[in-house]
Amino acid sequence: MLLASLLAGCAGSSIFIPYPNTAQAYRQALDTGKPENGVKAIGSKTQSADGMLYLLERARIQQLEGRTDGSKTDFDAAIARFQAQDERATISASALAASGLSLYSNDNARPYQGRTYERVFVHQYQALNYLAKGDVQGALVEVRRANLVQVEALAKKADAVDEAREKSERDARSKGLNPENYDKFFNEMDLAAGRVKSSFQNAATFYLSALIYEATGQTNDAYIDYRKALEIAPDNPYLQKDVVRTGLRSGMDDAKKLAQQLKLPTTAAAVAPAEGEGELVVYLEEGLAPVKQPVTIPVYTVNTANYVSFPVYRSVPAPQAYSLAVNGVTHQTQLLTDTRALAVRTLKDEVWDLLVHSFLRLIAKQELQRNAARKSQKSDEALILGLATMLFTVATDQADLRSWLTLPGSAQVMRLSLAEGEHQIALPNRPGQAPITVQIRKGKPTLLHLTVLPGSIYSRVYPL
* Interacting residues of 85 by C-beta distance below 8 A, sequence separation 6+: 113
The residue type at 34: K
Other CB atoms within 10 A of residue 73 CB: 16
Is residue 359 within 8 Å of 299, Cβ to Cβ?
yes
Q: What is the pTM of this model?
A: 0.90
What stretches in the chain show pLDDT beneath 50? Answer: 1-3, 5-9, 11, 89-91, 93-94, 96-97, 101, 160-161
Q: Who contacts 374 (Cβ-Cβ below 8 Å, separation ≥6)?
A: none
Strands in 334-337's sheet, in edge-to-edge order, are 334-337, 410-419, 277-286, 445-452, 457-463
Name 323's Cβ contacts closer than 8 Å, sequence gap at least 6: 330, 331, 332, 333, 427, 428, 429
Q: Domain-by-domain residue ranges, the chain?
A: 1-114
Question: Quick one: how many helices (H) and strands (E) in the chain?
Answer: 17, 11
* Beta carbons within 10 angstroms of residue 174's beta carbon: 8
Q: How far apart, in whole angstroms, are the C-alpha atoms of residue 325 and residue 319?
A: 19
Residue of 331, 330, 343, 252 lying closest to 293 (CA atoms): 343
Q: What pLDDT was estimated at residue 432?
A: 78
Q: Say if CB 263 and CB 257 are below 8 A apart.
A: no
d(CA 172, CA 179): 10
**Residue 106 φ then ψ, to 5°:** -160, 175
d(CA 232, CA 220): 19
Q: Give 307-340 pLDDT, tens digit per residue.
A: 888 999 999 999 999 999 999 999 999 999 999 9
Distances (CA, A) of 238 to 198, 214, 301, 319, 403: 22, 15, 54, 17, 31
Whole-number Å distance between alpha carbons of 177 and 299: 8
What letter does residue 207 receive in the DSSP assignment? H
User: By the 8 A CB rule, do 35 and 50 touch?
Assistant: no
User: Taking Cα atoms as reference points, which of 282, 283, 278, 325 lies closest to residue 421?
Assistant: 278
Provide CB contacts within 8 A for 71, sequence distance 6+: 59, 60, 62, 63, 125, 129
pLDDT of 395 reads: 54
Contacts of 431 (CB under 8 A, 6+ apart): none
414 close to 282: Cβ distance less than 8 angstroms: yes
What are the strands, taking DSSP E only, across 313-456? 323-326, 329-332, 334-337, 410-419, 421-426, 436-440, 445-452
